[in-house]
Amino acid sequence: MSVGARELTKIAGTLAALAIFVAGGCSSPPPEATAGATGSGATGSGSAGNSSSGGGSTGGGAITSPLRFDAGGDGAFGPVSIAVGGGEGELFFSQATDAGSDYFLQHLTPSGIASQGWVSLGSGTPTSPPKVAVSSDGTEVTCCWEDYGGINGSNTMGEVIRCNTVPPRGTSPDFSLGGGFSDTGSKPSIAQGSSYTVVAYTEAQDEFMTETILNLASPGSVSFQASFPIADWHLAPSNDLFNLFLGDGATIDVSGQGPELQNDGGLSPVGVASTGSFALATSSGMTAAPSTVLLTHQGSQVVAAIFGPSVPPSAAISAAGETPVDPLAAAMCNENTFGLAYGLSGGKVAFRTIDLTASVGAERVIATGFDSDVIGIGMAAVDGGVLIAAGTPTAISVFAVPCS
């Protein structure tokens, strides 16, 4: 594995850069939603004709849906991402326009209610519904997304990722990243370290992987080439270190990196099969020896395995007779328990817990009210439970789910 230094490519706040990267203010806000029983809550027209509403509950009111956006006659939504930092939730998503896509951040209360209107992060021209990622350390909310275009004023066009930051409850991007970050690549994955944020992405969807520190006094990057085409990847903090998990569509390997992306020099097999996309969550910051749960597709099943100081057997997560669909998500509920979410055919989302001994909790199926299969799921931990964001091209909902 070779490691080379790379400089951050920053987008200056000039008119030329603004032609590529558009940082806007707050859009016309959709109405705030309130939690309640099925059929209750506020509805009305919002940004560009969207609507938001308070949602329903399942499981005797244990799961609530405090927020829902409906696209209505406007453009389709893309995949979603959600994070929690400093006690505040952050929902990041895109919506298609005639010219391409707009990217929006929605601040949330810890219970998942919208705390204000949509914050515009910019516009772009991605070639497909863009994958997005969000992270928060309580002082900055970092958003990254896929786009198609040039970087640093270049006329060379291609797949790029772009990132920018918004202060908690802020109504527009700030200048923590000097006006924005951009590099060639796709599918950003963000991890929050103890003192800085790292984004991982591939270049041209092949064997080359890049990781970049976004907000450090002396930022830098590392790049390396895997020995296989990379199908999916996720970056996970491990106290002051990082683990990069890479999947080739059959198995998963891990590369451990030291502080400020000092690379360990190689990829090691995890011993977990994955026949498609996967998700992970880590106990970093909660336990002295962090463990990571890997949630994977294995044929027609969803399976979870714990990667850590001791590795118990894998545990089946989806139930017999179910038809899981691609999106998966995971988050640490507490120092002993992970929350797991996975899409099911018919627009449903299922939730289970798994503890560090691989003991699996009962399945809870969330009545989303979606009219098609989910295209994205995100999950983030809050006190006592998790917030799950799930979306289809026509609707996005946030669900507050207790872990107990």
Question: pLDDT truncated to tens, each residue of the chain (404 aa)?
Answer: 333 333 333 333 322 332 333 333 333 344 333 332 222 222 222 333 333 433 333 333 368 899 999 998 889 999 999 999 988 999 999 999 999 999 999 999 999 999 999 999 999 999 999 999 999 999 999 999 999 998 877 777 889 999 999 999 999 999 888 778 899 899 999 988 777 888 999 875 566 788 888 866 666 788 878 888 888 999 888 777 888 899 988 989 988 887 777 766 678 888 888 988 899 998 876 666 778 899 999 999 999 998 876 666 689 999 999 999 999 999 999 888 999 999 999 999 999 999 988 899 999 999 899 999 999 999 999 998 999 999 999 999 999 999 88
Alpha carbon distance 61, 402 (integer Å) = 11
Our CA angle for 233, 237, 241, nearest 5°, is: 115
User: Which neighbouring-strand residues pair with 353?
Assistant: 339
Strand pairing report for 181-184 and 158-166: antiparallel
At 320, list the tokens.
């017999």
- Nearest to 135, CA basis, from 68, 89, 101, 104: 89
pLDDT at position 286 is 64
DSSP 298: E
Q: Is 15 left (phi over 0), alpha (psi -120 to 50) or beta?
A: alpha
Q: CA-to-CA distance for 172 and 236, rounded, in angstroms? A: 28
Q: How far is CA 19 from CA 11, 123, 171, in A?
A: 11, 10, 21
| Residue 190, beta-bridge partner list | 199
pLDDT computed for residue 34 by the predictor: 31
Distance in angstroms (rounded) separating the CA atoms of residues 368 and 395: 10
Q: How far is CA 148 from CA 101, 158, 162, 183, in A?
A: 11, 5, 10, 11
In angstroms, rounded to a whole number, what is the distance separating the alpha carbons of residues 277 and 274? 7
Q: Tokens 């952050």 sit at which residue?
A: 90
Q: Which residues contact 272 (CB under 8 A, 6 or more apart)?
A: 251, 252, 294, 296, 305, 307, 314
CA distance to 34, 90, 395, per residue, from 112 (Å)? 9, 9, 16
Q: How many CB atoms lie within 10 A of CB 176?
A: 19
pLDDT at 331: 95
* Per-residue tokens: 18: 């603004």
User: Do 264 and 283 contact (CB within 8 A), yes or no?
Assistant: no
Spatial neighbors of 288 by CB under 8 A, at least 6 apart, are: none
Q: What angle do CA 3, 231, 306 make, to 5 degrees?
A: 85
Look up the pTM and report it. Answer: 0.84
Structural tokens at position 117: 């209107």
The residue assigned the tokens 């976004």 is 214
Rg (CA), the chain: 20
**Strand partners of residue 77:** 95
Backbone φ and ψ of 49, nearest 5°? 90, 0
Q: Are 75 and 391 in contact (CB under 8 A)?
A: no
- Which helix or strand (DSSP H or E) is residue 133 part of? strand 132-136
Residue 49: strand, helix, or coil: helix
How many angstroms separate the first and last alpha carbons of the chain? 43
Angle at 191 between CA 190 and CA 192, to 5 degrees: 125
